[in-house]
Each structure stands twice: as C-alpha cells, then as structure tokens.
Amino acid sequence: MPSRREFLAHSSLGAAALASAAAAPAGSAVPQATDKTIRLGVLGGGFGAQFYWHQHPHCKVAAVTDLRADRRRTLREVYRCDNVYDSLDAMLRRSEDLDAVAVFSGAPDHFRHVQAAMERGLHVISAVPAVMTLEEAERLRDLKERTGLRYMMAETSYYRPATIYARNLHREGGFGELFYSELEYYHDRGDLDALGADKTSRFYEPDGSHSWRWGLPPMHYPTHCLGFLTGVTRERIARVSCLGWGSKHPWLEDNRYGNPFWSQSALMQTDQGHMVRCNVFWLVAGHGERARWFGDRGSLRMAVGDLHDDAWLPRSSSLDGAERVEELEIPDYWRTDMLPGEMQHSSGHGGSHVFLAAEFINALVEDREPAVDVYEALAMTVPGIVAHQSSLRNGEQLAVPTFDRA
C-alpha cells in the first residue's frame, strides 16, 4: 500500500492537481510489440552490482568486468554471467557481442571508460559524476553528437519518490513559480583517526595507496544535489559563488586534487533567474540527500530521517498564516506500472536503482534519448566543477558554461 504522508494542502491548489502530481507519469513500463534484447556489459563490481539489469525482460547481461578478482566474482554471481573479463579492454575486444556498457568504475575514470565504449559503437550508462573537468565535459558532448549513440548518467536523485512527485507537481503548475531550491548531500567520512589508518576502507586501493575517493572535492560530486533541480525543472545553472571549509588532516593536505575542503556550500542562479543553495559536506553530523523546493504558491520538503515527514506547505490566503491540513497518499512509485513487473521492488538510493536500469534499457529498445541524457548529465555535473573553482577563489562569483546542443 502507498505510504501515508501528512501534507499541508492549500484549497486553491485543488485535490485534482494534488492527485495528478502523486500519480505515476503516463507511459509504458515495457516497450510493446518487440522481441529486441539489449546485450549489456557491466564494468565495476562495487556499485555496479547493485542494479537489476537482468530483471528487465529486454536485457541480458552478456559480459562483466572488474580489475579486482573479488568484484568479478560478485558480478558473476549477481548477474549469473559466465563471460567474465579482467579488464574493460578485454571485454571491449568482444564488443561485437554487446549493444551497451554500464560504466561503474571510479569517478576520475568515467569519461575515459565511456569514450572507450562509445568509440567501439556501444551505448553507455555511466555512474556519477559524468566528468571531472570542463574539458571532459566538452569532449563528452562532442563524443555523443559525433557517434549518435545514447548516453545516460545514473543519477539516483532523479528517481527518488519526492523528486518524481516534485517533477509532476511542477508540470501541473502546483508550485507556481519555483523560485528557490535548497539541495543537500551529506556523506560523513566518519572517525578521522580510522580514516587515515584503516587500509581496508574504500579510501585505499588493495596495494595500500589512496583511492580516488581520498580528498575528493565535495563539489566534484554535485549531481545528487543538482538532480533535484535539473531533474524537476530542467533549468541550467548560470552563475555560482561557493565557499569551502577544511581543517588539518592528511585527507586535505595530501590528495591528488589539491583540495583543501571537507565541505562546500554554493549559492547558484539559474538561467531563469531563480536561486539555488547547494551543500555537499564530507565532514558533518548528518547523512543523506534531500531537497526543499519553494514556490510562490507552495513549497515542498523531503523527509529527513525521523525529524519530519515529506510535506506540502502552501502560501496562505490569509494574513494570519492559517493553513488547512489534509492527508495525501504518495505512492511508492516502484510499485506502479512505471516499471516492468519483476523490477517492481525496493532498491538502493530511495528506490531509484530499478528506475535507472529500466529507463536505460527502455530508451535503447525504443530508440530514443534517455531521461538523464548527456545534456542533463552535464547540467547536473558542470556547476559543481565551477563551484569548486569559486571556493578556491574565496567565493568569487563565476559564470557556468552550458554544454547543451547548439
């Protein structure tokens, strides 16, 4: 059954509009009248093993690869695939057996691995972030346009239930003008003494060297925040001013990025003149991704653990601010016909993993661009790269380039 959430509902919005916002978007979960099957190769036995490609009726995991033997075993077991390779290059040499590749390697390798697959004529879905530099952003856009292949970024925030609801509500005009958003991604690094000593943690490679996660600038991982904005309104960030905070620790004093910050907070302006506050914190008493959307008709907030529920907060028509409280049912969208039957189950990052897998496969079967295509992916990624540059310049406001189709 759908979960019960308490909303503060404004009578002027209307029950019909609220019901429409809560409903699953129209569209078929499974492409009709086709026997096409997408043969997928999966790179990365960490995060890449947490998706459900093999449950889609039009997908077959045809090959898997990871540099680490333990992760290769995981991929083999999860996807029941015996075509196992010890490198991406080895898997791509059999590219005639594949239609697409899921790239779930380390963030600094995403563009290189996406490029290798697309140059072989394969469609790609990639973990976040799409790129790490502005140069890579330009090259990724050009690569997609030159090859004509499909590219999708697996941004989990796009398919969190509150985001689906906000997207529907925005489409219905329920917010009025959505003039301000607060976007937050908090992922605490834990005990700082252990962080520098535990060589078995994900911040170290098996040989004891630092992994790509060591010292990663927070704003180089902005998509869990910006997915809440671009994924709702499709706006682009035009300008950004960002501040950062750090302390004395080897994480900040010895990393490949020259990054001095644990946490960064940015104030952004969209191409529609709207305001955005974006926080990415690595050292904080908090955890998770969440957003609040503010409109001139009403505002929506995501639940934050046990602190409060999701809520609709309307502007009152009276000067004393009186509001009428209504209960509204928001569906667990994964229970709806947005997904193929076998994929209608809970999954990671707020239920988003099944949606991301289904959307990519559906897009390929239907020969269309996926929801989070290369242009949306770069709109969610590039502002963070520029925000980090701003924080290194004491918050100087900087213009954000766009990489949309000309």
| pLDDT, tens digit only, all 406 positions of the chain | 333 343 433 434 555 556 666 666 655 577 777 889 999 999 999 889 999 999 999 999 999 999 999 999 999 999 999 999 999 999 999 888 999 999 999 999 999 999 999 999 999 999 999 999 999 999 999 999 999 999 999 999 999 999 999 999 999 898 999 999 999 999 998 888 888 777 778 889 888 899 999 999 999 999 999 999 999 999 999 999 999 999 999 999 999 999 999 999 999 999 999 999 999 999 999 889 999 999 998 888 887 654 456 666 665 654 455 554 444 556 788 888 889 989 999 888 888 999 999 999 999 999 999 999 999 999 999 999 999 999 999 999 999 999 998 7
Q: What is the CATH number of the domain that holds 200?
A: 3.30.360.10
Whether 89 is covered by a domain: the verdict is no
Q: Which pair of tokens denotes residue 375?
A: 């242009």
User: Based on the structure, what is the number of domains in the chain?
Assistant: 1
CA pseudo-torsion sign 403, 387, 278, 188: positive
Please check whether residue 191 lies inside any domain of the structure: yes
User: Residue 306 is part of which domain span?
Assistant: 3-23+157-332+372-399
Q: Is residue 62 in some structural domain?
A: no
In a domain, 357, yes or no: no
Asked whether residue 187 is assigned to any structural domain, the reply reads: yes
Q: At 184, is the secondary structure helix, strand, or coil? A: strand
pTM summary value: 0.91
Phi-psi region of 27 (alpha: psi -120 to 50; beta: other; left: phi over 0): left
* Domain annotation covers residue 55: no
Q: Per the domain annotation, does 114 fall within a domain? A: no
Please give the angle made by the CA atoms of 148, 154 and 156, to the nearest 5 degrees. Answer: 150
105 is a domain residue: no
Q: Which amino acid is at 336?
A: T
- Express each pLDDT in 170-229 by its tens digit: 998 989 999 999 999 999 988 888 887 777 788 898 888 999 999 999 999 999 999 999
